[in-house]
Structure formats: structure tokens, C-alpha cells
Structure 1
């Protein structure tokens, strides 16, 4: 085996390979050298292990191309979402609208008025860029934005309720993604938690019975990702408003998903409360996410009474939780879409996917089927199925959709899922009933060609 070591080429020889020379024009020299050294080290290890291997420049050239492709890939990359989960937390939640993307690019490529008041020529507030448009859309007195909804509820409680009692229904003491729990957030904010009611039933008198001189607020929390049916009772904001006025307390609602469109107008069932309705019904402060039902960037949006928002703006935590210029740009452009609801439905991807007409989805599925029909090694059919909204939003809602059911004559569904997930542009699919499902609701038409390319490449295996 020792004679094989002599066959290992020198780095200088590899640098003269045509594909390596081309790559040196595109990538740093040290990056290319590292790849070549790694390849040669793999050969040395195989020889050491007693493997009888073939070594020639053609093989090394092909291995180099494969390694270059792998190592030049970014860790955070685009994928094709074929799962039918619209707000897919693991895949980045909501896709942003073109208006938001263009605005991000504009402020990224240029200097901006991030904290500059053009009218007075003085330092300005970054939050002023979004506060007016948020208030206009939601009809609230004031607004503030931090980096996510957990941060929003934390700074609200820290500012308005520190060292006081906050009453919450036991049925709303939720755990959200990543094991973040509302009781822990409250504890971190310096709040004394007062649990009332039972898991399935809480009454207005439960809240009233726990009110003391040290009670500052009632907290309502959106129950993300689950719901309880059957023998249940929840106290609504408008009911709590009676106690608020009677005892001079405040109502804070973490509404979670941030729905501001009445989806019943589009024949879509939604149990989500509208942000606007929560404010009208008596909530003094409402917090919600920017990257869920709103269809914007990750952000924690705080809206409500002006005097309370002004207090939150003075909290030193705000500096640690503030949003950057890209989030501001995306959020402003997203809210501007809502000036015309029809425009928002057509141009904000999350809203468009939720309100898709069944006939349009069927046509889309048939288009994809037609594109893939010549792949003889596949059995492909269009089927009716259901999509979900995802991201903890509208957990009761199932949206009728159309999927392509894929089976391969050699690969099991599990093997096929892995190969699609490892495509040049990863395709994330649904594995269901011993076959692969591609839900066209969350696939863009310009992604069809990439799906075709990935399936054709399977012939090489």
C-alpha cells in the first residue's frame, strides 16, 4: 500500500487543473488550498486504513468540484417549502412582500434617516418611522416595536407591573417554542404571578376574587399551537374591562399571532381575535409578532394607550431590545400594504397563501404535474389534502389544498425525502401515508423548475 503514497499529486499539480484555476478567480486562494489539502489528507487516511484506492487527476478534479460546491454554500440558505405549512417556524416563518424586500435593499445600500429628523436637521427617533403607520392601520393611540414578541411582553411587564401582582388564567400559562414559558418571562420581569381558574375553565369571578391592593394588571395570553375543546370557559377582554374600570387596573393582552384581517370575508375560518378588536374591547396594551399573521419581519409590536407606551419608551431595556434599520424598513413597508386591504391580500405572501382559491390551487397542482409527467420512474398523482397556517396561528383551521403524491420505483419515501432535502436548493416535503406530498400552496410557480431538476438528478443515483 505504501506505493500509493507516491501517487498522491503535489498541490502545485492540482493548482494547474482547469477547474481549480477557474475557481481561483472566484474564491480566495487560501480557501481553495484548504479544500485541496483536505482532499489529499482524505486519500492519505484511506491509504493508511489499507484501502485499495484509485488516484488520478480526473478523479481528484471531480472530487474538488463536489467539495467546492459543499464548502461554498452558505449556512443560512433558501429552501423550497413544499410542506403546506404557511408560517413555518423552522423555515423562517412568513415570507416578506416585494415592497419590504426592496425597502431593505434601499436602506442596506445607502445611508438612511434611521435616527435623523430631516425636517429639523436634528437627531430623531428610529421608532417614528413606523409608529404613525401602525397607529393609522390599527386605530391605536401609540405604538412601539422591539425585536420579538417575547421581548415585547417582557418590557411591558417590567415597565408597568414590576414588583406587583399580575393575574393570569391557568389555561393561558403557555410554553412557546424553545421552552420559553410565560411564568418564567413574568418572573424575569419582576412580576408576581397570580394564577386563577383551572386549565379548562376560568370565570370572571376567579379574577375578581384575587384582586388586591398590589394587583396592577390582568394579563391575557394567546394559546399558541394548541386549543382545548369541550367543557371550556375563557374570560374575554370585554368582560375583564368591567373589572378594569371597577378596580382601576390595566389589561395587557399578548395576542400572539397579530391578525389584523378578518379572514371570514375570504371564506377562511379563523378563531384568532383581531388586534383592533382587542383594543376596542378594552385592552390597554396589546403585543403581537411581526412575522406571523402580519406577514412581516421578526418583531414584537406593542400598541395601546399613549401614556403607557411613553413609559415603556423610557425603559433602559429598550436599548437592548431595539430593532435595526432592516426590520424598520420591512415593517414600515408591510404596514403600508394594509392601507389597501386588497393590495395586502394580493402582495403579502402569507395572506395570499391563506386566502388562495381552491380552483387556483388545483390548476397550480396540475401545472406541476404536467411538468413532471415524463419522469417515468415516478408515480405522481394530484390529490386533495389540507394545509395549515402554522407558527401557532389558527390552530383549528385546516385549509383545503391540492398536493402531488410522489412515489419512486426504487427509493422508499424516507430515502426520497432525504435526497430532496439535500438537493442544490433543498426541497422540504411532507411525508404522509407512505408517500411524499408536495403541497402547491406554499410552492411558488417559479420554483417548479427546481423541483423538476432535483427529481431528474435522482437518475444519477
Structure 2
């Protein structure tokens, strides 16, 4: 058995061809640290009785593997076969090609972001989106911030700092990450006034709560849950009448916010932004990276005087958008000018509107190929029906008929109850992770969001 002497020194490793190649690829500092760490571990292994020669032979591959692992970003592309189209933990909407191109150009070039090309003076970055938002929503004016929570925050801070904000108890939502609307209202400096009960709120509840210190009435679209049964809420048009009579602005937070009627593609209707504006809300807030299908952003549309007040708020600079997202949003919004081709060009809508028959045909086509890839690892694949969700709080109890692959252990039912979890972990560890969901004692790969068969087969080849 060979000992310490067969291990190369750090200098010997660096001047060898393998070391030179690694330095060229990763830099001298990183290679030095990796080699030293591996040599220290190998000396400890030799002291424990392992053979130095065998360890020395593995050193180049081990160091290369360590460096590759350290260089690999955790923020890497995955295959979203989870069955949730707008998966918050997977980055929500996939951008359209036009948006990707616009963002790439914005990254690579100086832009007239806040520069008036006609007059040569300073311009406003929101002007690149303002006209499109007015056109698509029917609002008098618009402003943009970095997400919808920020949109609600700055709107409340502008309208109701040090004053009261009236909201129904049934609309005091909690969104992902345990962010609660009452907490956002408190940070905005507004005093929360709850009206009604959890399941029933009436016009008289709002009318009785309005006083001289009321700064805003807030209506929240409960997009991430639904209360059913003995319920009542005040519709936005009636609430707009109450607010208008009292001279108090109405802020309608739509959450996901859609610019198109989803029913046109066979999905259940969500209130559109244009409808919320037409119903009389003074301000409407909504997201950019959910049903709209763009990058993360928060939009505020509505009365010109209120938008101007929001733009003067010092918070606006703290929550403004950068040039990359503005460019991508402009390209995304332009797609809505051509509704006939919107589903072809916007990945979110394309995935949501994809017919089940088309997905089932893909599952039947892929099943024998995936089964062959999994067989050496003790698993089988078969086509199955399943149900997709929109995700990100939109239509929380609605599902869309879909199809996919049911992955089970080849040993049959009851053989190793943790087998689906083990397989899910292996698929997450692939160079391009594959994300499914576990149900009915199997790992389900919902194919709704799989655009190309080859993407899944290439990912599984790394098993």
C-alpha cells in the first residue's frame, strides 16, 4: 500500500497538463484552493488506511469535479413538469421570445431610458410603458414598480399615510412567504379598519366606517383562495359608488391581473384590468409576471392625479424598475395588441390553453422512451391523466385537465414506500433538474409545460 509520497505537491499539480487546463478554465486562485482541500482530505484518508496511489490517481478528476460544482450556479434552468404553470418557486412566467430579445438588447447597449431623444433633455422611464398601459386598460394614466406588493404599498402610503384604510375582513389575504396584507398596510403607514365578517360584507359596513379620517377604501381580489357557502361581498361597481359619494378613492388590488379574457381560450374568467377600471376604481394594481406573462413588475393604473401623486412619492425611486425589465415589459405588452396571435407568442397563455388531447399524445409518445431510460434504475413510466393548476394565486381551486407520465418502481406497488421521493431527488439532481410532483404513490410528470420531447429525454440521459 502506498503512502503520502505518491501524492503530488500543489506545484506539481499546477504545472501538469491537467492543472494548466483547470487554471485556464477556473483561474489559479480557485484551483489552488481546490487542490489543497483535496490533498488535505487524501492525507487524512491515508492515515485512516487508504491506499495513496489509488487516491493520487483520482486527484485530477476529483479536483475538476469540485471546481465544476463550485462554478455551477444554483440558479439554473429546470424542466417544470410539476403541473403548476405559474410556479412561484420556479420563477413564474416564462418570457416571450420578443421580450427575451428586448431584454438582451437592453443588457448589451445603452438605452434612451430617461433621455428624451426629441428634446435632448431628461425623460421618464415609465413613459416607455405608460402609453401601452393606457391603451390596453382604458385608464387615464399608469405607473410601474418592481412587484405588486410594492404597488399596493406605495399606493396606500400615498393615499392613506397616517389615515384610515377600509378593507373587508374577508379580503385580508396572506400571500407567499407569510407576507400579510395588514403588515403591508402598517408599513405603508395606514391604519387598518376592518369591516364586515370573514364570509359576509355588505355596503352598509363600508358606509358606516367612512369618516373624516378615511384615506382609501381597499378592495382585494382574493385570487389565492376562495370562500364558499353563506357569503356576500360588495361588487366593485357598488363599492365605487360608495367611495365616489364619500369622496374617498377606491383602490382595487387584482393580484394576478389579466389583460385578456381567459374565457376566450377555454379557461375560467378572471376579472380583467380594463373591467376593473371601467367599474370605477380610482386605482387598480396588478402583477407583471403572473397571468400577464411578463417579468416581475407591479402596475398601478387609474386616475391621472393619483398616479401623479404616487410618482412624487419618495418611495417611487426605491421600488422602480431597471432598464432590462422595462424593455421586456414593453415587448410583452405589445403582444396584447394582436390578441388573435397572443397564445402563439406568449408562453404562459400557450401553456394554459394547450389542449389535453395534444398533451396526452405527447405522453403516449414519450412513455416508452422514458421507460427505457428509467429501466436500468428500477423504475417504469406509463401515460396518465392528471390536472394542472394555473399557480401564483390565480384560480386556486380550478384545475385544467392535462396528461403526463406516471413513474413508479419496477418492483410494483408497495415495494419501497419512499421510492417516488428517491426518484424525485435523483431527477432534481440532474444537470437540468426535472421537477414533478408526488401523488398516488408515484412521481407524476405533468407534460403541459414541456414544449419539446427532446428536452426531457436529454435531461434523463444524464441519469
TM-score bracket for the superposition, by shorter chain length: over 0.9
Q: Classify the secondary structure of the residue corresponding to 1:330.
A: helix
Question: CA shift at 1:120, angstroms?
Answer: 0.8
2:201/2:233 contact within 8 Å kept: yes
Contact conserved, 2:156 with 2:216, CA < 8 A, in 1? no
2:435 maps to which residue?
Answer: 428
- Shift of the 347–19 alpha-carbon distance from structure 1 to 2, 3 Å rule, reads farther
Question: Equivalences for 1:304-343 in 2 at 5 Å?
Answer: 304-343=302-341
2:445 counterpart residue number: 438
Superposition map of 1:180-191 within 5 A: 180-191=179-190
> Is residue 2:9 matched to residue 1:10?
yes
Aligned partners of 2:455, 2:185: CA distance in 1, in Å?
A: 46
Q: How does 1:381-400 map to 2 (within 5 A)?
A: 381-400=382-401
Alpha-carbon distance change, 456 to 107 in structure 1, aligned in 2, over 3 angstroms:
closer
Partner Cα separation in structure 1 for residue 60 and residue 316 of structure 2: 54
Alignment-derived partner of residue 255 in structure 1: 254
Tell me, yes or no, if the aligned pair for 2:162 and 2:190 is still in contact at 8 Å: yes
| Counterpart position of 1:364 | 362
What displacement does 1:456 show? 4.0
Q: 1:427 to 1:17 in 2, by over 3 A?
A: farther
Q: Is the 8 A contact 1:291 1:297 kept in 2?
A: yes
**CA separation in 2, counterparts of 1:319 and 1:456?**
47
The SS at the match of 1:227 is: coil
SS of equivalent to 2:194: strand
Report matched runs for 1:24-423 at 5 Å: 24-48=23-47, 50-54=48-52, 55-270=54-269, 272-375=270-373, 376-377=375-376, 378-409=379-410, 412-423=419-430
* Gapped regions of structure 1 (runs ≥ 5): none
Pick from 452, 455, 461 the counterpart of residue 460 of structure 2. Answer: 455
User: In the TM superposition, what whole-angstrom CA distance separates every residue of 1:140-199 from its partner, at most 9, and x where no partner exists?
Assistant: 110100111111111111111222211100011111112211111111111111100111
Task: Measure, in 2, the Cα distance between the counterparts of 1:136 and 1:371.
Answer: 48
Q: Residues 420 and 426 of structure 1 are in contact (CA less than 8 Å); yes or no, is this contact kept in structure 2?
A: yes
Question: 1:396 & 1:280 partners in 2: Cα distance?
Answer: 27
Deviations 1:189-215 (A, max 9, x none): 111111001111111111111111111
Aligned partners of 1:19, 1:283: CA distance in 2, in Å?
A: 67
Q: Distance in 2 between matches of 1:443 and 1:67?
A: 32
Report the secondary structure of 1:123's partner residue.
coil
Say if 1:299 and 1:51 are closer, same or farther in 2 by CA, change over 3 A.
farther
Looking at structure 2, the residues matched to 280 and 454 of structure 1 have their Cα atoms a distance apart, in angstroms, of 48
**Cα pair distance change 1:18/1:276, threshold 3 Å:** same
Deviation at 1:138? 1.1
Q: CA deviation at 1:16?
A: 4.6
Q: Is the 8 A contact 2:150 2:298 kept in 1?
A: yes
Contact 1:174 1:224 in 2 (8 A): no
Contact 1:176 1:224 in 2 (8 A): no
Q: TM-score, normalised by structure 2?
A: 0.93
Separation (CA, whole Å) in 1 of partners of 2:257 and 2:118: 33
Task: Structure 2 unaligned segments of length 5 or more: list them.
Answer: none
Task: Write the distance in 2 (CA, Å) between the matches of 1:84 and 1:208.
Answer: 43
Counterpart-to-counterpart distance in 2, 1:27 and 1:249: 61
Shift of 1:392: 0.6
State the secondary structure of the residue aligned to 2:372: coil
Secondary structure at the counterpart of residue 307 of structure 2: helix
3-state DSSP class of the match of 2:382? strand
Matched length: 453
Check whether the contact 2:368–2:381 (CA below 8 A) recurs between aligned residues.
no
CA distance in 1, matches of 2:396, 2:357: 24
- Determine if contact 1:358/1:400 at 8 Å carries over to the other structure: yes
Give SS of 1:167's match.
Answer: strand
Residues 201-249 of structure 1: CA deviation (Å, up to 9, x unaligned)? 1111111111111112210112242211111111111111221232111
Task: Compute the displacement of 1:67 (Å).
Answer: 1.4
Q: Is the 8 A contact 2:7 2:56 kept in 1?
A: no
Deviation at 1:51, TM superposition (A): 4.7
The answer to whether the Cα contact below 8 Å between 2:386 and 2:403 also exists between their aligned partners in 1 is yes
Aligned-pair distance for 1:419? Answer: 0.7
